[in-house]
Structure 1
Amino acid sequence: MTSTSQPTALVTGASRGLGHALARALADRGWRLVLDARRVGKLAEELPGAVVVEGDVTDPAHRDALAAAVDVLGRLDLLVNNASELGPSPLPSLADHPLGALRRVYETDVVAPLGLIQLLAPALRATGGTVVDVSSDAAVEAYAGWGGYGSAKAALDHVSAVLAVEEPALRIYAVDPGDMRTEMHQAAFPGEDISDRPEPASVVPGLLRLLDERPASGRYRAADWAVPAATS
């Protein structure tokens, strides 16, 4: 284990979408990064200096490898549980949702984030760190077809809320980033044009503001933390 005052973040699902955009922004701020992805692609080239660990967050051995990478760096200030599983595409009704697929959604969106928090809680406590659990408006709104994903994110919201009570020295946030132009969102609307959705990078300034200001633990919408446009 090394010792350093340089802030360190672990971001899951970092090869694309919001995870990738946030990792880039943190790197630009001088953060050290441990990055998880099922398909790493050119992630190490795009973010030189980051520790990239390829694997699936539902795999306990992979979570152990992520924790070991954090241990080598010597500290953890931020855990971003961004990796998510949508489920079947097109989205099925709950009456037709394959239970095997639903278990996969829950393993990825609820069990894996909690598993990482359990492994990394000592490191986070040592820095008074922050956990960002990426949620969705489907966690609080009833949309047809979104019962699997939405109920999993609702469970993640509640996990975040209970952890906030149990870990008062930490900041635990469930964050709804809003609709974004991502592969997962496209899978939710196969064949539709989603070009009107904002790019994931547009959400990042609001997340950075949340991290900078460190309000009380709770559930937040990224849109409510959007940085106001500069006026001339």
Structure 2
Amino acid sequence: MSRLQGKYALITGASQGLGLQMAIAYAREGAAGIAIMARGTNLLDKARSLVQTAAPAVKVLAIAADVSQPQDIERVVATTLNEFQGRLDVLINNASTIGPSPMPFLLDYPLEDFHTVLNTNLIAPFLLIKKVLPAMIEQGGSIINVTSDAGVTGYPGWGAYGISKFGLEGLSQTWAAELEDSPVRVNWVDPGNMNTAMHRAAEPEEDPSQWADPKDIVDIFVYLASDESKAVHGQRFEAQEADEFESATHEAA
């Protein structure tokens, strides 16, 4: 349980769901410092306590911020780098918003909500990568973007969320291509259907018990943050496809 020994990570959208489970897993795997951020302070404080309990020695930063706001991104990065003495090994762009629920068709989609979804799900990852790169470029690091099958296939009613994930797929590919000769690697992961608050809001008529528990799919995120994946760059993973994960692990070895 020490695959991330001594590493420092920043995880957005980490007050609940997948982001929280990633933070707990990173703490248990020996990370030296983990910055978790989300908008709601109550859930964020509870998340910080859970991560700290999982590994009392880890330094946990809980930063309340809204990634749809560029000034908040500036503050998050500055605070994280200051507390971690200028070092950052892992960035996970996990924060996301579904938009209005139930999700309207594009014809009826409110413009303000469309802007908010794209700012959160697409512009924020672009800005966060841009801001943390100077800290990563010397020592190397891992950037992991959380995508969706809605970013590969246009589903009716998934509106701005799906469009933002299409954009994130392209953003990930472009950053990966531009950083190919650097020590910073970029990969992106589709976690699949998960039992999270956001997914339940998106599909309230479905049975969430049929979806995966976020804690059961975090291993791919540990792997991509660890030195085991130093040779893995520019790849898209499906977290619930075990064969794909095992293949990537074998190739990196």
Specify the SS of the correspondent of 2:187. strand
Separation of aligned partners in 1, 2:192 and 2:206: 18
Separation of aligned partners in 1, 2:169 and 2:218: 20
What is the identity, as a one-letter code, of the residue corresponding to 1:189? Answer: E
What is the identity, as a one-letter code, of the residue corresponding to 2:24? Answer: R
Residue 30 (structure 2) aligns with: 30
Q: CA deviation at 1:97?
A: 1.2
Residue 152 (structure 2) aligns with: 140
Separation of aligned partners in 1, 2:189 and 2:11: 14
Residue 138 (structure 2) aligns with: 126
Separation of aligned partners in 2, 1:140 and 1:117: 22
Against the structure 1 CA distance between its residues 211 and 41, is the aligned structure 2 distance closer, same or farther, given a 3 Å change threshold? closer
Q: CA deviation at 1:186?
A: 0.3
TM-score by length of 2: 0.83
Separation of aligned partners in 2, 1:125 and 1:41: 31
The answer for unaligned runs of 5 or more in structure 2 is 53-58, 247-253
Separation of aligned partners in 1, 2:190 and 2:116: 21
Q: Is the 8 A contact 1:207 1:225 kept in 2?
A: no
Separation of aligned partners in 2, 1:118 and 1:57: 14
Alignment equivalent of 2:96, drawn from 75, 84, 88: 84
1:61 aligns with 2:61: no
Residue 60 (structure 2) aligns with: 50
Separation of aligned partners in 2, 1:44 and 1:24: 9
1:194 aligns with 2:208: yes
1:138-171 residue CA offsets vs partner (Å, 9 max, x unmatched): 0001211113111101101111111111112221
Q: CA deviation at 1:41?
A: 3.6
What is the identity, as a one-letter code, of the residue corresponding to 1:218? Answer: Q
| Alignment of structure 1 residues 146-185 onto 2, 5 Å | 146-168=158-180, 169=182, 170-185=184-199
Specify the SS of the correspondent of 1:171. strand
What is the identity, as a one-letter code, of the residue corresponding to 2:134? Answer: P
Residue 217 (structure 1) aligns with: 234
Separation of aligned partners in 2, 1:216 and 1:67: 23
Q: Is the 8 A contact 1:85 1:149 kept in 2?
A: yes
Count matched residues: 224
1:198-226 residue CA offsets vs partner (Å, 9 max, x unmatched): 11111102322333432222222112357
Q: Is the 8 A contact 1:206 1:223 kept in 2?
A: no
1:97-155 residue CA offsets vs partner (Å, 9 max, x unmatched): 11111111000000111111111111121221111110000000121111311110110
1:16 aligns with 2:16: yes
Q: CA deviation at 1:71?
A: 1.8
The answer for unaligned runs of 5 or more in structure 1 is none
TM-score by length of 1: 0.91
Q: After alignment, is 217-226 or 92-101 more displaced?
A: 217-226
Q: CA deviation at 1:191?
A: 4.4
Q: Is the 8 A contact 2:45 2:62 kept in 1?
A: no
What is the identity, as a one-letter code, of the residue corresponding to 1:128? Answer: G
Q: Which runs of 4+ in 1 moved over 4 A?
A: 225-228
